[in-house]
Amino acid sequence: MRKFYLWFGTVFIFAQCRGVPSASATEIYTEIDSEAYSESFSVKELVSEIKGAGYASGGEAAFLHAQFSAGARMGNWDLAVVTRYDAALDYSEATARLILASSADGDVPDGIYNLALDVQTVSATGLRVGYRYAVSEGLSVKASLTGFQAQNLLDGRISGQLELSGSADAQGDLLLDYYYGNDPVFGQDADAPDGYGYAVDIAVNWQATPALSFALNLDDIVSDIRWDAAPRTVADATSGISRTDEDGLLIIRPALSGQNSTETLSNSYMTRTAVQADYSLNNTWSLHQSVFNAKDIWLSRSGVDYSFATGAKLGATYDWIARAVGVSGQYGAFRFDIATDAADLSKARYLRAQAAVAIIF
């Protein structure tokens, strides 16, 4: 509890340094930016163990982005230390149903399952340099370049077909091809590789009228991560897959053939794009609408803000696709934005938690 009061008191003191920094101001800041959305499983289960809590049928994608940064803005320049974790998944609906039934001790219906799973996870720590350029009055463009060291590699895919019929042996043919730091399939021992790379972000802000403004964010619009001596497994799992209907569990005992190797891998982050429009009704109320895209995932959020003092406001948001409700606020140089689609966070398929605090000199 003491730690909480200390943190809150520190934030309150920082927040007294309010206002918008001038072109020559120096701003010391820390930011947390995390967002995750899964079309099928809860966010918690994506990073732990799938049990089916919050499951929704028809999904085919998921992503998670969590980033912490601490740095300084000096005029138009921005320099920060950044640490981040990213995960992206694409899968067929049949894959999600099979994973759910197997993991949640459910009965797997007969049929032909066309399986496909593409997954990438990586964590990284590095240094970000940004510069904001005023194109004209009301229009600015900011470009940021981050150089980093990456770890916790997992980049691969599973594809194939599985046919289940009664209690007879299932017929199937799966192809596995993945690079890893820790082998999630066979648990093989290997030296975890380190990667080195860069990522570029672009932010455009346009004050079209005194009441109307637009913002465009292109995160990781260009990126590349190079891994030397990355462990790789390529394997076939064919037929020999047995099934028992005694308790509804699917037990897989494939006949495996494949090879292990270490290779050079070059991969990249998934680009995240956000477009937002803000409209001020008056000095107190304002509306905003945004659209977000990350590969095959689309989100659409509407919100309203209420300004109750200079540099202080509270807001509410609703995402029409994720069906998530959120609250946001700002007091001087402190701001936050949180949202979820479920009161029980263990079942939430959408989570957003963003916060920032700064000291402006």
* Sequence-separated (6 or more) residues with CB below 8 Å from residue 133: 76, 140, 141, 142, 143
**And the tokens for 161?**
């077909």
- Provide the β-strand partners of residue 22: none
Q: What is the pTM of this model?
A: 0.85
DSSP 127-143: EEEEEEEEEETTEEEEE
> pLDDT grade, residue 13 (50/70/90)?
very low
Percent of the residues in the chain that have a pLDDT greater than 90, as a whole number:
66
Each residue's pLDDT tens digit, 318-353: 999 999 999 999 999 999 999 999 999 999 999 999
Instruction: Look at 254 and 131; give whichever has higher pLDDT.
Output: 131
Instruction: Look at 254 and 200; give whichever has higher pLDDT.
Output: 200
- Provide the β-strand partners of residue 158: 117, 176
Evaluate if residue 215 carries a pLDDT over 60. yes
Percent of the residues in the chain that have a pLDDT greater than 70, as a whole number:
86
For 31, list phi and psi in degrees, rounded to 5. -140, 140
Of 36, 39, 40, residue with least CA distance to 67 = 36
| Alpha-carbon gap, residue 33 to 82, rounded angstroms | 11
Please name the amino acid found at residue 238. T
pLDDT of residue 285: 97
156 close to 121: Cβ distance less than 8 angstroms = no
How far does CA 259 lie from the centroid of its chain? 32
How many angstroms separate the Cα of 339 from the Cα of each of 8, 147, 322? 21, 30, 10
Could you tell me the residue range of the domain that residue 188 belongs to? 2-360
Of 213, 210, 348, 358, residue with least CA distance to 288 = 213
> pLDDT grade, residue 12 (50/70/90)?
very low
Query: For the chain, what is the domain count?
Result: 1
Report which DSSP code applies to 193.
P
235 close to 184: Cβ distance less than 8 angstroms = no
| Alpha-carbon gap, residue 214 to 278, rounded angstroms | 6
pLDDT of residue 256: 62
- Stretch 239-250: mean pLDDT, rounded? 53
Helix (H, G, I), strand (E, B) or coil at 181: coil
pLDDT of residue 32: 97
- The DSSP bridge pattern shows strands 26-38 and 255-267 to be unpaired
Taking the alpha carbons of 42, 187, 185, 101 in that order, is the dihedral positive or negative? negative
Please name the amino acid found at residue 80. A
How far does CA 263 lie from the centroid of its chain? 27
Of 84, 86, 92, 85, residue with least CA distance to 39 = 92
pLDDT of residue 186: 82
**And the tokens for 229?**
């001596």
